[in-house]
Amino acid sequence: MIINTLLILNTTNKLKTIFGQIPDFRRSHKQLYDLESILLIGIISVICGADSWNEMENYACSKEDFLRSFLDLPNGIPSHDTFNRVFSNIDSNHFETCFIEWVSILAQLKPKEIIAIDGKTIRGAKASGKKSPVHMVSAWANDNNMVLGQVKVSEKSNEITAIPKLLEVLSIKDTIVTIDAMGCQTDIAERIIKKQADYILAVKGNQEQLYQDIEDEFRFGKQIQTHLSEELDHGRIETRRCSIITDFKFIAGGNKWKNLTTVIKIESIREFKNSNKLTEKATRYYISSLDAKPEDFQNAIRSHWGIENKLHWTLDVAFCEDASRKRIGNASQNFSILNKIALNLLKNEKSSKIGVKSRRLNAGWDNHYLIKVLNLMKV
């Protein structure tokens, strides 16, 4: 018991080192609970399965003796209204900066690791009179299996303006950044190169001239390298042919794309066994600053979908994020950070071969397991 107490004290001190930098917006004479304790209870309760302010309070009340072993709580457990008020009002930019600082220490990025950037909408967070629900752009480190950072998209803007803000605060040297067609912009390509990383950007109709030029490259090009892969999974056979060209003939103004080295064509055919479904065919184009083999591009482009399967899908299924109706102030943005802190820790706890949702339950039931999860926090 003494060892566990020392471990949790060490861990919470590490947390305070990073998240204790967040400024307290409250008047000092009205404070019943210090901000660090509220933040720590918020983080721990979300790891343990809390998806709402009421559930935060319920968890903390049920684990009050455990929490008192490392937190000073002279006025008892904060109410759900207190959690709501605090997380709705603390500065989201500061919270995101602290989160990114913590992850930069926790993550050990490998050379050529895929960093996928994509957006996700929290549909339940749409408030009356607002143009759209809350939309977050996140960066996912594929090999590290964790979120590196997030930026909220302005209501009157889109991902094109949010991605540069996210790139600015990330440490991505020697990695490969993959972004869908929304991020296929000359400015974004240049920013990635300035961060000493490489890019693979999807090309669609939003870059009409570039799209047509790439089609011409593959229609008339003679020096084309290819790689074929086949995969049988869940009753379907998927054949993917990756073709690349590095000697351009038809790309007009190709030099406006910083360090453009390779154009890529992915042709996929999906056939279904024992099914009446029709064969699905698709052709997709990409540009990249990388000089690599077709099989390397094949793997990198497939790895991009990890942000959908391992991050966005998990947030909706294991954390019920899409159903979240937190709308007041910065609540949705800050709770999204709490979810990502929990996800990073739970994804990297390797002692049990169970899903994230089950790991949350285990952490809520078993303090020893919770301490094991929290001790993944390195500062």
Which amino acid is residue 268, in one-letter code? S
Q: Measured between alpha carbons, how far is 371 from 109 in angstroms, rounded to an integer?
A: 25
Domain boundaries, the chain: 2-93+329-374, 199-288
Query: What is the helix (H) or strand (E) element at residue 146, kind and residue range?
Result: strand 146-152
Is residue 96 over pLDDT 60?
yes
Tokens of 279: 């064969």
Residue 65, CA atoms < 13 Å, CB-side half-sphere: 2
Q: What is the pLDDT of residues 31-90, one digit of tens each?
A: 889 899 999 999 999 999 999 999 999 999 999 999 998 888 999 999 999 999 999 999
More confident call, 246 vs 133: 246
Q: Measured between alpha carbons, how far is 287 from 208 in angstroms, rounded to an integer?
A: 14
Distant-in-sequence, close-in-space partners of 376: CB < 8 Å, separation ≥ 6: 106, 345, 348, 349
Torsion of CA 163, 166, 172, 177, to 10 degrees: -20
Give the chain's mean pLDDT. 89
Q: What is the pLDDT of residues 323-360, one digit of tens each?
A: 887 878 889 899 999 999 999 999 988 888 899 999 99
> Do β-strands 114-122 and 146-152 pair in parallel, antiparallel, or remain unpaired?
unpaired
> DSSP state, 322?
G
**End-to-end CA separation in angstroms for the chain:** 24
What pLDDT is attached to residue 252?
75
Is residue 3 over pLDDT 50?
no
Q: Measured between alpha carbons, how far is 91 from 260 in angstroms, rounded to an integer?
A: 39
**Nearest CA-CA partner of 288 in 193, 369, 171, 375:** 193
Q: Measured between alpha carbons, how far is 317 from 336 in angstroms, rounded to an integer?
A: 14
Is residue 11 over pLDDT 80?
no
Query: Which segments of the chain does DSSP mark as H helices, in order?
Result: 2-19, 35-47, 53-62, 64-68, 80-89, 92-106, 159-169, 186-194, 208-220, 294-303, 306, 313-318, 331-347, 356-365, 367-374
Is residue 229 over pLDDT 60?
yes
More confident call, 222 vs 278: 222
Collapsing DSSP to helix, strand or coil, 29 comes out as helix
Q: What is the pLDDT of residues 288-301, one digit of tens each?
A: 999 999 999 999 99
Q: What percent of the chain has pLDDT over 90?
A: 65
Name 150's bridge partners.
Answer: 138
Torsion of CA 191, 345, 331, 333, to 10 degrees: 10
CA of residue 30 relative to chain centroid, distance = 36
Residue 33, CA atoms < 13 Å, CB-side half-sphere: 22
